[in-house]
Structure 1
Amino acid sequence: ILNHLSQNKVECCMEVRPTTSIDVNGNFANFEERKFQLGEIAQKPSERLSEKFKLLDTKNMWINLNAIKRLVETDALKWEVDAGSSLMQETAASSIIRFFEHAIGISIPPSRYFPLNSTSDLLLLQSDLYATSNGVLIRNAARTNPKNPSIELGPEFDKLDSFASRFKSIPSVVELDSLNVTGDVWFGNGIKLKGNVSIVARPGMRIEIPDGVVLDNKLINGPEDI
C-alpha cells in the first residue's frame, strides 16, 4: 500500500470494506463529484441507506504529513454541521478525507480487517482462532465453520481490567459456535469451548470454570452443571 501511495502521490487513503446486510452503524464512505464523502449513521440505517453506501470505513488511514501541513497553514479545515440531517458529520479522523486533492479508498480483504468494538470481539482476537503474521490476521485452519463464533459477554466483562482478571487464559474457541456469559463468572486455564455454551450466574452466585475443562454444548446455571 505504501509503495502505491508514494508512486501515485496520494495525499490520503482510507481502507474500506464492502458493506453487508448486518452493518447497522459506523462510517459509510461514498464517492461523489470525484471526492470521497463520509457519513456517520447516527441511527439504524434504512435499507435505502445501506443500498446507497457500498463501502464501510475500517478506520485505517494513510495520510501524507506534508498535505496535512498545507491544509493547516491555509486554514482549509472547515467543518460544517447540518443539524437537520440524519447523516451526521463528526470530527472523526476519517472525516478529513474530503479536504484532500488526491484521496483514494482501498478495498481490503477480511484478513486485514477485524472489528474490535467490545471485549467480546477482543476474546475472539486473543483466542486460538487467530494468529498474526507480518501484521496480517491468519485464521486457524482447524476451524471448519467459515463463520466466527457468536460471543456475548455480560457487563461484568465490559472493562478491560475486569475482562483480563476473569480469564486465567483465553479458552479455545476453534470448535465453538456460540458463547453467552452472564453474571459473576471466572475462567481457569486451558479451557475448551465447543458447540453452543451458555453460562448464567444468578445474582449473588459465583461460577468458576476449573482448569482444563471441556464444555461441549453446555448450559450452566450453577457449579453443579459443570
Structure 2
Amino acid sequence: MIIQLKPSVSSEEKENIDKAIAALGYKTAEVKTQIGEYVIGIGKKDYDIRQIGRLSGIADIHRVSDDYKLVSRKWKVKRTIIDLGDGVEIGNGSMSIMAGPCSIESKAQIGATLAHLTENKVPIMRGGVFKPRSSPYAFRGLGAEGLKLWATMARAAGIKIISEVMQVSQIAEMYDYVDVFQVGARNTQNFNLLDELGQIDKPVMIKRGISGTLEELLSSAEYVFSGGNEKLILCERGIRTYEKASRNTMDV
C-alpha cells in the first residue's frame, strides 16, 4: 500500500500509522518527494483499506499489488524528467543521446570523443573508469584518476558524463565528478549498492540484468526509489539467449 500523508501530519499521527501497518505484518518505509510525504507498506496479508484510511494524518491511500509499488504506473502516472543542468534533460519527450567508448583509456581518446560529440551536438558522454571484465587479464579502466581527468575535460567542453559504479565504496569517490551514476547489468541485483544509490541526490541509470526479467528490473528500480531518489533511468539492453547473431536479444 502507498499512503499519502497530509502536509500537517504530526509525529504522533505518523507513529500511529506505522503501528497500524506493522500490525498487519508489513514492512514500512517513509519517502519524501517534491510533491509530498508517503508511507509505503510492503507485505502480502490482506487488509481493509477503509480501516487504514480512517487514521488521522492520511490524505489518501492506494492499494498496489505489484512488488514494485513506487515505480508502478498504477501510482506514478507522471513522466519523470531529469534535469542535468545547462538545458540537458532526460525524459521530456525528446531524444537524449549518450555516446562514448566502453572504457576511458587516455587523454587523447577523451579529447577526440568530446570533439566528436560537440560537433554532433550530443550532450552526454558515456564511458567506464571501473570496468567489470569477463577476463581478469582485460583492461579494467583508469580508475579514480582517469575519472577526474575525464570530468575536467568534459566540463570544459560543456558535456555531461555518465559512468558505471561497481560497489558502494565508489559512490563517494565518483560523486563530485559524474552527472549520472550507471548500474551495469552485472550489478542490477546488487541490493546493497541500490540501497545506497537511493540515498543520494544524483540520477541513476539501471541497466537490465544479463538474464533479468522486466519485473526484476522494475524491482531493482524500486530499491533506489524507496530510498528517496526518484531520478531514475531504466536502460533496456536485451538479455542473453542461445541466439548468436547478436550479443543480446530484445524480448519486448
Q: Which protein shows a greater Rg? A: 1
The structure with more strand, counted as a fraction of residues: 1
Short-chain TM bin:
under 0.3
TM-score, normalised via structure 2 length: 0.24
The structure with more helix, counted as a fraction of residues: 2
TM-score, normalised via structure 1 length: 0.26
